[in-house]
Every structure is written in structure tokens, then in C-alpha cells.
């Protein structure tokens, strides 16, 4: 039996984002709080499509009901070497752990390797672009376990650098991580299993809370991001 397409009175139901039947028979009931949805984004055709990421509203209007997951930005920090050093090494410190010495003219891959060697960071938790130093800054993007979070800003030491004029290493937050949304919409809870026509302010719906998700087949306004992948990873398996 094909579960990917189904015609209803209001729309053609596209559930091709479901990677398996797992979890489709054990959904939880929820109520969608319509005022938390934006018509032009979430239901421009008069219905809320299945496959959107939803979050449980924890306070204020609609508390206890569900709305669209608001998304969360992953943090990036820029590392800049100043003073024109011609030799030596520098270090980065993250959450109290300091890297081994990084060459003054290191590539982005070398900086990533130095950070990935720290006890609290996995190789998949960061990506580094830019460089080589000292002429070009490095941009450290946090992902993996740090996706969507406001992480501590790294600190740096240029004490091991030589040459140039008073060389130093500075770190600045380029993009702050986290979400500006409140009332629980920044914490993904699962997926809307079946599309729902917009008729009333409160809409009963099934919450898909475990299973296999085909990420590439999710609807355009699903809200799925790195943070949703991280938070929901214990309940879902994601296929790209």
C-alpha cells in the first residue's frame, strides 16, 4: 500500500516525507493553536501541510497547545590574527579546554582539527572556513551537539606568536546562537502527521513523535533545521 499520496476533500495529502510506517499508528493527540501560525507561510492554500515541525506552547495564549516550531540559529564566531606575525603558534580555549599550539599560518582544516581534539568537541560539531592566517580571519561554525544553541564565546592567546608588531588573536561572535522565540516554540516536539484544513482557531491533530523522516521531502515551510535534527534525534531517524 502506498502511503505517500492521498486525496481528501480539501487537498492532496503528500506524506512522502515519511520514511516508514513506524510511529504512524501510535501518534499522540494535540491541538494546533491557529493564532501562532502565519497564514502566508504556514497555510497559504487554506490548510496546514503534514510534515511541519511543531512545538508545544508552554505559556501565554495557547499554553498546552501546539504551534509551528520557530527555528533556532546556530552560532558562528570569527577568529582574527592581528599584528602581522611571521612565526610561532596561538591557541583557542573553549569551555575551559585549550587547544595545542596552532601555527601562525594554519589552514582552516588545521584550526578545525585543533578544536576537534578538545575533549568536549566532536569532529562533526564544528566547521571552520577562511584562513590561512594571519591575513585572513577564520570563521568557526558550531553544529552537531551545539546546533541552535548560544554557546560560550571562545577565547584566544597569541602569546606564542613571533614577529610582526604586537601580534594578538581576537575572537568575536559573528552570529549568536539560539532562538528569540519564547513560550516554548523554540523547542521542537515532533511533526504534524496529517494535513489539516483551517476552519477554527483550535484544530485537533495527530502528533508524529517517532519514526523515519525523509528530510528532502518535507514541505517548504516545515521549519526543520539543525537544532530540530539534534533535539528530535532521540526519537527519529533522519534520511537526507
Q: Among candidates 5, 1, 68, which has minimal Cα distance to 38? A: 68
Paired sense of beta strands 87-94 and 102-103, if any: antiparallel
Residue 234 pLDDT > 60: yes
For the chain, the straight-line distance linking the first and the last C-alpha, in angstroms and rounded, comes to 23
Alpha-carbon span 232 to 235, nearest angstrom: 6
Segment 142-150 mean pLDDT = 95
pLDDT at 182: 78
- Rounded Cα distance between 150 and 73, Å, is 9
Q: What is the value of pTM for the model shown?
A: 0.82
H/E element, 35: none
Rounded to the nearest integer, the mean pLDDT of the chain is: 94
Tell me, what's the pLDDT at 8?
47
Q: What are phi and psi of 20, to 5 degrees?
A: -165, 175
Q: What is the pLDDT of residue 199?
A: 86
Amino acid at each position: 500500500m502506498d502511503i505517500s499520496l492521498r486525496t481528501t476533500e480539501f487537498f492532496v495529502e503528500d506524506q512522502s516525507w515519511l520514511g516508514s510506517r513506524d510511529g504512524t499508528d501510535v501518534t499522540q493527540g494535540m491541538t494546533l493553536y491557529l493564532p501562532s501560525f502565519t497564514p502566508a507561510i504556514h497555510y497559504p492554500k487554506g490548510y496546514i501541510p503534514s510534515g511541519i515541525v511543531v512545538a508545544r506552547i508552554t505559556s501565554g495564549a495557547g499554553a498546552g497547545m501546539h504551534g509551528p516550531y520557530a527555528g533556532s540559529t546556530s552560532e558562528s564566531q570569527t577568529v582574527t590574527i592581528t599584528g602581522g606575525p611571521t612565526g610561532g603558534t596561538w591557541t583557542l580555549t573553549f569551555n575551559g579546554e585549550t587547544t595545542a599550539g596552532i601555527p601562525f599560518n594554519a589552514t582552516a582544516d588545521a584550526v578545525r582539527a585543533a578544536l576537534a581534539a578538545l575533549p568536549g568537541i566532536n569532529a562533526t560539531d564544528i566547521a571552520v572556513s577562511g584562513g590561512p592566517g594571519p591575513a585572513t580571519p577564520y570563521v568557526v561554525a558550531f553544529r552537531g551537539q551545539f546546533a541552535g544553541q548560544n554557546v560560550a564565546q571562545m577565547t584566544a592567546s597569541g602569546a606564542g606568536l613571533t614577529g610582526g608588531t604586537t601580534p594578538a588573536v581576537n575572537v568575536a561572535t559573528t552570529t549568536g546562537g539560539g532562538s528569540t522565540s519564547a513560550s516554548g516554540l523554540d523547542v521542537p516536539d515532533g511533526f504534524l502527521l496529517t494535513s489539516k484544513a483551517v476552519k477554527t482557531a483550535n484544530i485537533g491533530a495527530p502528533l508524529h513523535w517517532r519514526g523515519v523522516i525523509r528530510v528532502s521531502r518535507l514541505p517548504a515551510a516545515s521549519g526543520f533545521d539543525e537544532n530540530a535534527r539534534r533535539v528530535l534525534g532521540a526519537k527519529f531517524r533522519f534520511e537526507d
